Chains A and B, each alone.
Chain A
Amino acid sequence: MSDVVSGVPNRAQDDGGKLVGIVLVSHSAAVAASVAELATGLAGGGAVAPVAPAGGDGDGGLGTDSELISAAAAAVDRGAGVAVLTDLGSAVLTVKALLAEGDELPAGTRLVDAPFVEGAVAAVVTASAGADLAAVEAAAAEAYTYRKV
Chain B
Amino acid sequence: MLDADFFRRWMTATAVSVEHEAERLTALDSPIGDADHGSNLQRGFRAVAATLEKDEPGTPGAVLTLAGRQLISTVGGASGPLYGTLLRRTGKALGDAPEVDEREFADALRTGVDAVMQLGGAAPGDKTMIDALVPAVDALGRSFAAARSAAEEGALATTPLQARKGRASYLGERSIGHQDPGATSSALLIAALAETAGE
Let me know if A8 is at the binding interface, CB within 8 A: no
A20-64 Cβ-contact flags toward B at 8 Å (1 or 0):
000000000000000000000000000000000000011000111
Let me know if A14 is at the binding interface, CB within 8 A: no
A/B pair count, beta carbons within 8 Å: 47
Whole-angstrom distance from the CB of A117 to the nearest CB of chain B?
19
> Which stretch in A92-100, A119-127, A130-138 binds the other chain?
A92-100
State which residues 80-128 of A face B: CB under 8 Å. 89-90, 93-94, 96-98, 100-101
User: B78 — which chain A residues lie within 8 A by C-beta?
Assistant: 89-90, 93
The majority secondary structure among interface residues of chain B is: helix
Whole-angstrom distance from the CB of B113 to the nearest CB of chain A?
15
A59's nearest neighbour on chain B, judged by CB, is B76
B76, B79, B84, most chain A CB atoms within 10 A: B76
A67's nearest neighbour on chain B, judged by CB, is B73
Please determine whether A94 and B166 come into contact, CB atoms closer than 8 angstroms.
Answer: no
User: B85 — which chain A residues lie within 8 A by C-beta?
Assistant: 97, 100
Band of interface residues on A: 10 to 19
State which residues 57-85 of B face A: CB under 8 Å. 69, 72-73, 76-82, 84-85
The answer to whether residues A94 and B81 also contact, given A57-B76, A65-B76, A89-B166 and a CB cut-off of 8 A, is yes
User: A93 — which chain B residues lie within 8 A by C-beta?
Assistant: 78, 80-82, 119-120
Band of interface residues on B: 10 to 19
Let me know if A10 is at the binding interface, CB within 8 A: no
B69's nearest neighbour on chain A, judged by CB, is A101
The answer to whether residues A89 and B167 also contact, given A63-B76, A97-B119 and a CB cut-off of 8 A, is yes
Q: A90 is contacted by which of B69, B76, B88 (Cβ under 8 Å)? A: B76
Q: B81 is contacted by which of A58, A62, A96 (Cβ under 8 Å)? A: A96
Task: Write the residues of chain B forming the contact surface with A, with a CB cutoff of 8 angstroms.
Answer: 34, 36, 69, 72-73, 76-82, 84-85, 88, 119-120, 166-167
A-B interface, 9 closest residue pairs, ranked by CB to CB distance from nearest:
A97-B81, A90-B78, A63-B76, A93-B81, A57-B76, A66-B73, A94-B81, A90-B77, A97-B72
What are 20 pairs between A and B in contact, CB < 8 Å? A62-B34, A63-B36, A63-B77, A65-B76, A66-B73, A89-B77, A90-B76, A90-B77, A90-B79, A90-B81, A93-B78, A93-B80, A93-B82, A93-B119, A96-B81, A96-B119, A97-B72, A97-B119, A101-B72, A101-B88
Additional A-B contacts beyond A89-B167, A90-B80 (10; CB < 8 A) = A57-B76, A63-B77, A64-B76, A64-B77, A66-B72, A66-B80, A90-B81, A93-B82, A97-B80, A97-B84
